[in-house]
Structure 1
């Protein structure tokens, strides 16, 4: 028995172990990832189906919610849950990279310098102040940063992209996504109702919605009442925030290193600019060349949503709901203040631009 256990470690490289050796050692190998891929596919299917019946809730949000249900009720077998954890991160990175195909440099520059400055200024103020508030209320550095990132940039996608840099865990991610879903939905309903009392034109409302509401789907829903032209403006403004995801992640990573927050963990700390963020920028650049046919972009969009949803299902499955509920009052307070901040700063900018 001893000989069987030692032989793989001494004579066979880990990457090249056969199926029999894997069975003897119990190591996590590619064949063992299939239960995770199956679970992720089922979670994705459930999220897509739920979104079809309740379209007001996004696919990504449904994926997290279903993952939490599966992970906390015993619906997900232990083997599948362990295998799901192995594939979640890779799916997450694929989704973030492909998100770059949703935006081009040309569409951003068409907004004008003033609007781009408004978007960037609102983003920075929201990110910095929300993170500061979260730390003051002792939410934890990682959770505070993820909530700030989600509210300032692009909701669940931004939270997922910042996870490693923030050194967050699945519960931090789940809390952040829950908050952007809840408060983004509130903003989606309230902002259209406030447009007329505030005397905003269609263009001004489109900019306001795009610069302040969290998720792309929520932006589309809020701007939809104004017609296709308003939706187009709001979405381009929103995608400008998405484009700023890469420099924000890189900047936070550099600041953490300069501040010494990664001291003593040099072997484990992430690179200054994660490779998937560089991939995101490369996809933006490729989209900006105009060589990508519309059909290909549509197909990529579906793959991107599928990869992110499957990954977020896996994240949700790793969350323990009891732990998630701890400190929820402080989380709600920070999220409320952050929502007031992002909508207020964006509205002030819109009014100044006229």
Structure 2
């Protein structure tokens, strides 16, 4: 690409990227004025509001290329930067019992939600994306799965909206339930970290119970984040197998007398239209794993980690605004009822499983919760 083409491409995407950047700044202000609202949650809501307003078609066309870049590429960059928040040493401190329960909760919730979404007839890749968002780490997991499955923006936007809705409700609901359940601060932190979706929502929910609850919640949550790579890889195997079955099912039948006539045509078709299979582990997920390993084994300065954290919030915020702007409220109202049912059931299942894990840890006298 020469200089003139680069300038033309930049002019095409700059209005949308500028809008997303401005929306992130507004979301920061909202979060500062109302601390209970995480910045990233505000970004999604602002994107949905932008989509709902009666803009002229020319305005939408002007910002669409930049918002598409934000929703895809910036989201993947945010997933990579998320790895710098995760140290395997902190995860190991939880002990094998808690680690095993967290892994089991993620796996059970993922496959339960995926199966429920397919049973409810959700379109496209929505079942897998909702499963990833609710079981692993919210919008970041949805973006990772969307990249692996080549999901449409329309398939991605609805799960992001649902995970934002349920995570926001958790900020108010879980602290209200804490006294009724008799959870102390570390136990509440474990429950929040194991059941709430995005990292920002976990922080907003757990900090209400104090610093101890927040510390436990963040470590447990980041342990779920560590499941991102293996779950994406596993889903990649499933999708590749599904592609092979679909290709085999669409192959012409061996009809007597027709094989010679169709051989050349089939060969030509195969040459012109090869079946594209998704990578088992997309490049940006490899980057996420590399960031985790660097954070674990390389003594990084605090200044670098702060810059990485701020950068991650910035690019994820812009990406989530872009995804929110891709949501059509009319379509969501008309077709989102089944997706909402799946999301609410998944949320309830992961909350109950996580609460059961807290009770097991309490009975076992886990040191991390003491």
* Coarse TM-score class (shorter-chain normalised): 0.7 to 0.9
Moved more, 248-257 or 184-193: 184-193
CA contact (8 A) 2:240 2:277 kept: no
Shift in CA distance, 221/85, structure 1 to aligned 2, threshold 3 Å: closer
Moved more, 264-273 or 100-109: 264-273
Instruction: Report how many aligned residue pairs link the two structures.
Output: 334
Aligned to 1:190: 173
Aligned to 1:301: 309
CA distance in 2, matches of 1:236, 1:183: 21
| In the alignment, structure 1 residue 312 sits paired with structure 2 residue 320 | yes
Aligned to 1:289: 297
User: Structure 2: any 5+ residue segments left out of the alignment?
Assistant: 248-272, 364-370
| In the alignment, structure 1 residue 102 sits paired with structure 2 residue 85 | yes
Aligned to 2:260: none
CA distance in 2, matches of 1:324, 1:284: 36
CA distance in 1, matches of 2:85, 2:189: 18
CA distance in 2, matches of 1:65, 1:261: 39
Moved more, 53-62 or 67-76: 67-76
The 3-state SS of whatever aligns with 2:41 is helix
The 3-state SS of whatever aligns with 1:55 is coil
CA contact (8 A) 1:135 1:144 kept: yes
Shift in CA distance, 199/65, structure 1 to aligned 2, threshold 3 Å: closer
CA distance in 1, matches of 2:216, 2:3: 54
Mapping of 1:1-354 within 5 angstroms? 15-16=1-2, 18=4, 29-72=9-52, 73-74=54-55, 76-260=59-243, 263=246, 268-353=276-361, 354=363
Q: Deviations over 1:41-62 (max 9, x none)?
A: 2222222223233332322222
Structure 1 length normalisation: TM-score? Answer: 0.86
CA distance in 2, matches of 1:272, 1:18: 36
What is the CA RMSD across the aligned residues, in angstroms?
Answer: 2.4
CA distance in 1, matches of 2:347, 2:132: 12
The 3-state SS of whatever aligns with 1:292 is coil
Q: Deviations over 1:11-55 (max 9, x none)?
A: xxxx23735xx99xxxx7344332333222222222222323333
CA contact (8 A) 2:46 2:321 kept: yes
Q: Deviations over 1:225-247 (max 9, x none)?
A: 33211210111000100111111
CA contact (8 A) 1:67 1:313 kept: yes
Compute the displacement of 1:103 (Å).
0.8
CA contact (8 A) 2:78 2:312 kept: yes
The 3-state SS of whatever aligns with 2:323 is helix
CA contact (8 A) 1:154 1:215 kept: yes
CA distance in 2, matches of 1:87, 1:204: 37
Q: Deviations over 1:37-91 (max 9, x none)?
A: 3222222222222323333232222222222333443174422223432454221
CA distance in 1, matches of 2:159, 2:11: 33
Aligned to 2:256: none
Shift in CA distance, 327/87, structure 1 to aligned 2, threshold 3 Å: closer
Q: Deviations over 1:210-230 (max 9, x none)?
A: 111112222223322332112
Q: Deviations over 1:149-195 (max 9, x none)?
A: 11101111111221122432223322212222222233333333333
CA distance in 2, matches of 1:43, 1:90: 17
CA distance in 1, matches of 2:357, 2:151: 32
Shift in CA distance, 31/321, structure 1 to aligned 2, threshold 3 Å: same
Compute the displacement of 1:340 (Å).
1.4
Shift in CA distance, 134/297, structure 1 to aligned 2, threshold 3 Å: same
CA contact (8 A) 1:158 1:245 kept: yes
CA distance in 2, matches of 1:86, 1:203: 40
CA contact (8 A) 2:40 2:200 kept: no
Q: Deviations over 1:245-278 (max 9, x none)?
A: 1111111011111233685585644311100000
Structure 2 length normalisation: TM-score? Answer: 0.83
